[in-house]
């Protein structure tokens, strides 16, 4: 057993396979979710945002930036307090998906991204070549 920083645990099993637990698994999941996003545009009021800042923190995490260096993140701060936070995601196939961050939690937002990732994985399998 090996501990990287007290948070990640890397376990080598008897058959020489490696299993990650803790923060290492979370980091890999974040990277897997974002791997097909080419652009993310976030419009929000920083004083009246619910899950927006949590999603922004996840999206700008170091592990995600390193795994998907070509992803463009644009942040527009809106002064209108009544304006709902909006997220527009553009995927590698050019499809744009709007996400209403005013109604969804961070977990639900990532679940929606995972659906798009699954769709793109299936398309890549059907056409016989990867997107990236």
Q: What is the pLDDT of residues 90-114, one digit of tens each?
A: 999 999 999 888 788 778 888 888 8
Q: Which residues of 102-129 are buried (b: 16+ CB within 10 A; e: fewer)?
A: eebebeebbebbeebbeebeeebeeeee
Q: State both tokens at 72.
A: 């463009």
Q: Which two tokens mark 49?
A: 């945002």
In this model, does residue 88 exceed pLDDT 90? yes
Domains delineated in the chain: 35-127 (3.40.30.10)
Higher pLDDT, 72 or 64: 72
In the prediction, which pLDDT does 90 show?
94
The helix (H) or strand (E) run that includes residue 76 is: strand 72-77
**Does this model's pTM top 0.85?**
no
CA distances from residue 10 to 16, 19, 23, 30, 113 in whole angstroms, order as listed? 12, 6, 10, 18, 27
């Amino acid at each position: 057993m090996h501990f990287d920083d007290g948070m990640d645990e890397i376990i080598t099993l008897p058959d020489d396979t490696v299993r990650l637990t803790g923060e290492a698994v979370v980091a890999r999941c974040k990277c897997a979710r974002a791997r097909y996003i080419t652009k993310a545009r976030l419009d929000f009021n920083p004083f009246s945002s619910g899950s927006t800042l949590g999603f922004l923190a996840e999206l700008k995490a170091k592990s995600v930036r390193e795994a998907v260096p070509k992803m463009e993140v644009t942040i527009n701060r809106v002064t209108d307090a009544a304006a709902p936070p909006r997220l527009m995601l553009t995927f590698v196939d050019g499809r744009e998906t709007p996400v209403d961050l005013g109604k969804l939690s961070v977990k639900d937002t990532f679940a929606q991204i995972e659906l798009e990732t699954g769709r793109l994985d299936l398309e890549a399998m059907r056409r016989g070549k990867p997107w990236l």
